[in-house]
Structure 1
Amino acid sequence: MTTTLLLEIFAGFFTAFIALWMLALNRPTATAAVPVREEESVIAASPGAAITANARRGLQSYLLREGRLANIGLLILRLAIGAMMIHHGQDKLGDPQSFADNYVVPLHLPFPLFLAYVAGYSEILGSWLLILGLLSPLGALALTGTMTVAAYHHILTSGLNIYVLELVVLYLGGSLALLLLGPGRYSFDAGIVAGLVDDSVDPAAQSPSTSATASSYDLVPEAS
């Protein structure tokens, strides 16, 4: 058993542990509906508050989606694509000159050897970002970019050959789906955003009626 294989096995067990840990910490919780007070609607009507609320809702819908099965499905998709794409990146970096000659030069792109290194590192780093769910949109974008170029290369050199395109299309479709849908709750991104959303809530803004009531009591003159 080689050192590289031992490191890959260790990385697999470590990734599985992290995934289970995120699974336990970021379980979806049901939120009760809270009636909106008139004062809160006035505060939310301001442009700055509306932009902040829209950004918060966008982050929640992208990273903090509800549904246990949906989040487990996204986790499985991240782990499957990331674990398999790592090997493609390692193969490219194992012999970058050969990859440049066979895949980059036919596309007539400049600096083929440099682009070979870019493709290899993009697949390795992008795969790890997807596996851990850390900066996952960047990881999904990196894999989507490399698979798009790979699909173009196969079509250019072999035409619409299904046996050549099927694996590339599967990787391209999976990484593009993760880019559009997000990594799900069981990711580091979801844990970070959940903390930021909770910290961004201003307790004073949540109960303006209480402060208004207190100030109205302060304005009442004492009886002589």
Structure 2
Amino acid sequence: MTDKSTDTPTPPQAEDPAPSRAEQSATSSIGRGVTSPFDSPTEQFARVDASGRPQLGKDVPRTDDELGLDPEVPTTAETKAVPTYDYASIPPAAAPPSDTRRLRRRTAENRRGTLDLGLFLLRLVVGGTFLYHGLQKLTGWFHGPGLDGTREMMEQGGWDHPTLSTMLVTAGEVGGGALLILGLATPLAAGAVLAVILDAWAWKQGMAPGFQYKAGPGAVELESILAGTAVVIILTGPGRYSFDIKRGWATRPHLGSFTVLLLAIAAAAGAYWYLHGGNPFTGIGPFD
């Protein structure tokens, strides 16, 4: 007879329940890491802290780079449609010119010093002188002959058309002198007085043979000075103290002023030939 075993039979142990899907996912995620929040996002909160709130692990993405998302880049059409600037809402200013030598030259040209004042005084003297003589002929002021006396003087001086000559010389002196003082239409005004004074120079010089600059009945000293100053005003312009300030010839006369000079000389020669005639250079060198 065999002895009955005193060992109590061990009941079969219950098999461990199969792990849940969440536990399997959490366990597998520890080894491979989370690559996207869309891979079982609820399993990222499998861990909880002491207060029962979910605790994120180190492998939970927190930025766009970790999530693998591309930043929003504007399209080419958008960048062309709406221009943007880094530091201002308006376009940046143009870069300064690199040619500093040219800039310095322009700055130096604007430094005229007392040039404009000198031209203003020159216009006052020359214009005032012509206006004075013109008013003598036009109104008889300043002990002048008036229109009748001027016509008689022109007739006795050998002018073929004394009335027309009187009108031209009076208009040239009064109108040209007044415009010179104002600095208005300066090239034309200076050209008018130049033509008048050149004819006066030729008339007086032709009174006697030989060149008479200071002495004699045909002394032309005053006429020479006035003609020279009229030429200077044509070539230099009236300056900034004038009504021609906005005109190019006021401060930078060029080919136009030189053309006016030539036309004034031609007008004086034509008027003298038509209204008086004769050779004003008689007895001077080769002009015998």
TM tier, smaller: 0.5 to 0.7
Per-residue CA deviations over 1:1-35 (Å, capped at 9, x if unaligned) read xxxxxxxxxxxxxxxxxxxxxxxxxxxxxxxx844
Residue matched to 1:96 = 147
State the TM-score, normalized to the length of structure 1. 0.53
Instruction: Give the match for residue 188 of structure 1.
Output: 243
> 1:192 offset after TM fit, Å?
4.8
What CA distance in whole angstroms lies between the structure 2 residues aligned with 1:120 and 1:66?
Answer: 39
TM-score, with normalisation over the residues of structure 2?
Answer: 0.42
State the alpha-carbon separation in 2 of the partners of residues 192 and 102 from structure 1.
39
Alignment of 1:58-137 (within 5 A): 66-93=111-138, 94=140, 95-103=146-154, 106-109=157-160, 111-137=161-187
**CA separation of 1:152 and 1:112: change in aligned 2, threshold 3 A:** same
**Structure 1 residues 136 and 157: CA distance shift in structure 2, 3 A:** same
Q: Deviations over 1:57-94 (max 9, x none)?
A: xxxxxxx9751222211111001111121110011223
The one-letter code of the counterpart of 2:137 is K
Residue aligning to 1:141: 191
Report if the CA contact (8 A) 1:83-1:131 is conserved. yes
Residue 214 of structure 2 is aligned to residue 179 of structure 1: no
Is structure 2 residue 217 aligned with structure 1 residue 167? no
Structural mapping, 1:47-62, within 5 Å: none
Cα-to-partner distance string for 1:114-164 (whole Å, 9 max, x where unaligned): 221221121111111111111000110010000000000010014532143
3-state SS of paired residue (2:240) = coil
User: Which is worse superposed, 143-152 or 87-96?
Assistant: 87-96
How has the CA–CA distance of structure 1 residues 65 and 99 changed in structure 2, closer, same or farther, with 3 Å as cutoff? farther
| Residue identity matched to 1:155 | Q
* SS in structure 2 of the partner of residue 157 of structure 1: coil
The whole-number CA distance in structure 1 between the counterparts of 2:155 and 2:234 is 25
Q: Residues of 2 paired with 1:104 and 1:138: CA distance? A: 28
Q: Amino acid of the residue matched to residue 72 of structure 1? A: L
Partner Cα distance (2:236, 2:158) in 1? 31
Higher relative contact order (CA 8 A, sep 6+): 1
SS at match of 2:238: coil
Greater than 6 Å deviation, 4+ residue runs: none
CA RMSD of superposed structures (Å): 2.7
1:154 is matched with: 204
Distance in 2, Cα, partners of 1:191 & 1:89: 29
When you count helix as a share of all residues, which structure comes out higher?
1
Counterparts of 1:173 and 1:104, CA distance in 2:
28
- 1: distance between equivalents of 2:193 and 2:179? 10
Q: Distance in 2 between matches of 1:120 and 1:143?
A: 10
Which runs of 5 or more structure 2 residues have no equivalent in the other structure? 1-95, 100-108, 141-145, 250-288
Structure with greater Cα Rg: 2
Residues in 2 aligned to 1:122 and 1:80: alpha-carbon distance in whole angstroms? 16
1:3 is matched with none
Q: Which amino acid aligns with 2:120?
A: L
Given that 1:136 and 1:182 are in contact with CA atoms closer than 8 Å, whether structure 2 keeps it comes out as yes
